[in-house]
Structure 1
């Protein structure tokens, strides 16, 4: 994925004749088109492939699209941009509902006793979620939705009267994203351990910045290796925290699945302890950033 991002960036830089500085408007399609193609391919694969990996790839591709549309927000119609990003979020959530069950099942298997009693019913629930995900994605007609979004954005940018130098534009957008991450890290550093929302905001801001660096690294000013190292740490530490928090919420919302036994209580107790452990680990990383 990272090599593909570098290739896209080089294509954007070379999208103008020699001697002409590429504009953000003219470079947009070279960033967006491969991402749209990836998302369409992954959405098609999910119809046949029910594996956790297929769903994960689709959700990631849609998140990357949402981040790219955010990056180009200043150049696009605000209302349309908001609608498109909401669409990508909606589709990612549809894929994510099944993925959430996969994560819960994976976590629960770490406790053999709890897993033995709960796994069959959780797998059944996962099957129901997959059917719903597939139906939602099929009804949404992902291919045409994404192609229409790309066509609309390209038309708007290609007919724009002004042109913004690509390097100047991406430097500014990455700087905005970096400031947003710093602000959220500071807020989470002073938040109470019970304030998971503050920790979640750090994760989201870090993920957006990571995607932008992947997109624009070939044309950015300066070396971002130190930033990328921090982002990897955030992604790993805060990602594992988010997994257990989301799994705990999912199980609480579906305790009826394990009704009539102590399985739900045992699973929730294990997840609660794991959440506290991972929250401490995330807070420890914040102190080092």
Structure 2
């Protein structure tokens, strides 16, 4: 199952970095636009594509782009006006959630395509619900005017940073923000390791912290001293296991939420039992990774 792994296509991987990281050391303030502009361009492109492309891939790319933007604004938050930075990150989250409403149905449908899920009779109803969610996602994104909102956010942040009196070397700034993301992940892993296995919130926090660190490594690895390969591999494992757990938890919640509208289209109880067993199995797998930290 393809989920929000933070993996970039070739264009994104080469376009979201300062133009000359190996030359004269840029400041963090000057480098911001080199990171942000390609991301905004991708998000605008994918938002436009969703209007005509109903595929899971189109929605997935849009949501990932918006989440990467949110992480980039978090990374540069110490250099930006606090309230405006918080507002922009909330905007990116709102737009990603709009795309995610349909993406959640895609994940549920893919999960239940497994032979032992007992969900064969319910699939047509799930596809119908997915179609309704897609219509809402499209309307929300269209009404929000994604292109205008994102370009306005980019222009505002770029102007603020370019007119700032102080300058911080990009390498120093990047190292500080990556270290902050590492500490956040470590703290949440310790908390999840002590939590009850029924406390999914603690596990979910690990997933979010791991995703943030992965994005920051994608942004800043070329300008950091030393290799980040071991950290990147570890974060990928966290994303894979905790992402797989989140897929089941979110799908189980979605099915319960819409149980009434799906009544009569198959044995939802059997499907929920299967999802419950799968959730426990994936919870154990994720917990095992915590013990290896």
Shorter-chain-normalised TM-score: which range? over 0.9
Report whether the alignment pairs 1:9 with 2:17.
yes
Kindly state the Cα deviation for residue 8 of structure 1 after the two structures are TM-superposed: 3.5
Task: Report the CA distance shift for 1:52/1:153 in structure 2 as closer, same or farther (over 3 A).
Answer: same
- In the superposition, relative to structure 1, how do residues 178 and 2 fare at CA in structure 2: closer, same or farther (>3 Å)? farther
Q: How far apart are 1:41 and its partner, in Å?
A: 0.5
* Structure 1 range deviating more: 66-75 or 106-115: 106-115
* 1:245 pairs with one of 244, 249, 252: 249
Deviation at 1:114, TM superposition (A): 2.5
1:146 aligns with 2:150: yes
Note closer, same or farther for the CA distance 1:259–1:2 as it changes in structure 2 (3 Å cut): closer
Q: Secondary structure at the match of 1:9?
A: coil
The answer to whether 1:55 aligns with 2:59 is yes
Aligned partner of 2:237 in structure 1 is 233
Alignment partner, residue 222 of structure 2: 218
What is the CA distance between 1:263 and its match in structure 2? 1.4
Matches for 1:135-174 after TM superposition, within 5 Å: 135-174=139-178
Distance (Å, rounded) in 2 between the aligned partners of 1:133 and 1:33: 24
Whole-Å separation in 1 of the counterparts to 2:284 and 2:117: 25
Q: Which of 192, 203, 213 is matched with 2:207 structurally?
A: 203
Structure 1 segments (4+ residues) deviating >6 Å = none
- Counterpart contact for 1:199–1:238, Cα < 8 Å: yes
Contact 1:64–1:211 at 8 Å: present in 2 too? yes
1:269-280 equivalent positions in 2, closer than 5 A: 269-280=273-284
In structure 1, how many angstroms separate the alpha carbons of the residues matched to 2:16 and 2:272? 44
Deviations 1:116-145 (A, max 9, x none): 210000100000000000000000000010
Q: Is the 8 A contact 1:58 1:92 kept in 2?
A: yes
- Could you say what the CA RMSD is over the residues aligned between the two structures, in angstroms? 1.4
Quick check: 1:12–1:31 contact (8 Å CA) kept in 2? no
Residue in structure 2 matched with residue 21 of structure 1 by the alignment? 25
Deviation track 1:225-279 (CA, whole Å, cap 9, x = no partner) reads 1111101100111110000000000011000122246611111111001000100
The answer to whether the Cα contact below 8 Å between 2:122 and 2:266 also exists between their aligned partners in 1 is no
CA distance in 2, matches of 1:242, 1:138: 28
**C-alpha distance in structure 2 between counterparts of 1:115 and 1:81, whole Å:** 44
Partner of 2:87: 83
Separation in 2 of the partners of 1:9 and 1:127?
A: 37
* d(CA) in 2 for partners of 1:186, 1:245: 21
Q: TM-score normalised to the size of structure 2? A: 0.94
Name the structure 2 match of 1:114.
Answer: 118
Q: Does 1:188 align with 2:196?
A: no
Q: Secondary structure at the match of 1:109?
A: coil
Structure 1 residues without counterparts, runs of 5 or longer? none
Structure 1 residues 257, 123: closer, same or farther in 2, change over 3 A? same
- When residues 262 and 34 of structure 1 are mapped into structure 2, their CA distance, relative to the original with a 3 A threshold, is closer
**Deviation by residue 1:67-94 (Cα, 9 ceiling, x = unmatched):** 0000000000100000000000000000
Q: Is the 8 A contact 1:13 1:22 kept in 2?
A: yes
Cα distance, 1:173–1:117 mapped onto 2, change above 3 Å: same
Aligned residues between the structures: 285
**CA separation in 1, counterparts of 2:221 and 2:117?**
47
| 8 Å Cα contact 1:170-1:216 kept in structure 2 | yes
